[in-house]
């Protein structure tokens, strides 16, 4: 069996690791992300090349680890990457630190390549031209 993520210090996390390990039908994929693998994932997210690359990483994270990462325009105006909504859905076994490091890495990756942000905002045709009115 592959090695599992080391347990967080008692009281430092709310990951419900023991509950997950004791559940016969629990999804243990998230525990396969060791601290070393987490560092590699964060580095990869910081090097996003395009919106397609971001969507690919979201799909890979979901498929391999069972973690759902949502990235979309925030409810208000988006002036910087801080205006984007980047959310990691809670699930048993998902460390609080990891829930914070994934969005932070995505923000750094988007800040380094702002064209991805424009493409993300344009997914719903934000920058599409308004239809021309007949004269």
For residue 12, what pLDDT band results from cuts at 50, 70 and 90? confident
How large a percentage of the chain has pLDDT more than 90? 41
Range of the domain at 38: 17-122
Question: How high does pLDDT run on average in the chain?
Answer: 84
> Is residue 70 situated within a structural domain?
yes
In this structure, is residue 87 part of a structural domain? Answer: yes
Structural domain includes residue 134: no
Domain-located, residue 10: no
Domains: count for the chain: 1
- Cα distances (Å, whole numbers) of residue 36 to 2, 3, 6, 32, 39: 14, 11, 11, 11, 5
What 3-state class would DSSP assign to 103?
Answer: helix
Within a domain: 12: no
Tell the residue number behind the tokens 């396969």, with chain if given.
32
Distance CA 70, CA 55 (A): 9
Residue 77, pLDDT > 80, answer no
Tokens 């994929």 correspond to 29
Q: Is residue 2 part of a domain?
A: no
For residue 1, being part of any structural domain is answered with: no
- Is the pTM higher than 0.85? The answer reads no
Residue 128: the pLDDT is: 52
Residue 17, Cβ density class (10 Å: 0-12 exposed, 13-18 middle, ≥19 buried) = buried
Please check whether residue 127 lies inside any domain of the structure.
Answer: no
Per-residue pLDDT of 55-75, as tens digits, reads: 999 999 999 999 999 998 877
């Amino acid at each position: 069996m592959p090695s599992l993520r080391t347990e967080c210090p008692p009281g430092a996390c709310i990951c419900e690791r023991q509950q997950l390990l004791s559940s016969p039908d629990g999804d243990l994929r998230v525990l396969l992300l060791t601290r070393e693998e987490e560092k590699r994932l964060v580095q990869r997210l910081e090097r996003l090349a395009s919106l397609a690359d971001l969507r690919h990483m979201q799909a890979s994270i979901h498929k391999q680890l069972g973690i759902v990462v949502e990235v979309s325009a925030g409810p208000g105006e988006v002036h910087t990457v801080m205006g984007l909504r980047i959310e990691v859905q809670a699930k048993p076994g998902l460390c609080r630190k990891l829930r914070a490091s994934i969005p932070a890495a995505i923000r750094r990756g988007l800040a380094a390549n702002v064209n991805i942000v424009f493409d993300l905002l344009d997914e719903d045709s934000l920058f599409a031209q308004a239809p021309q009115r007949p004269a």
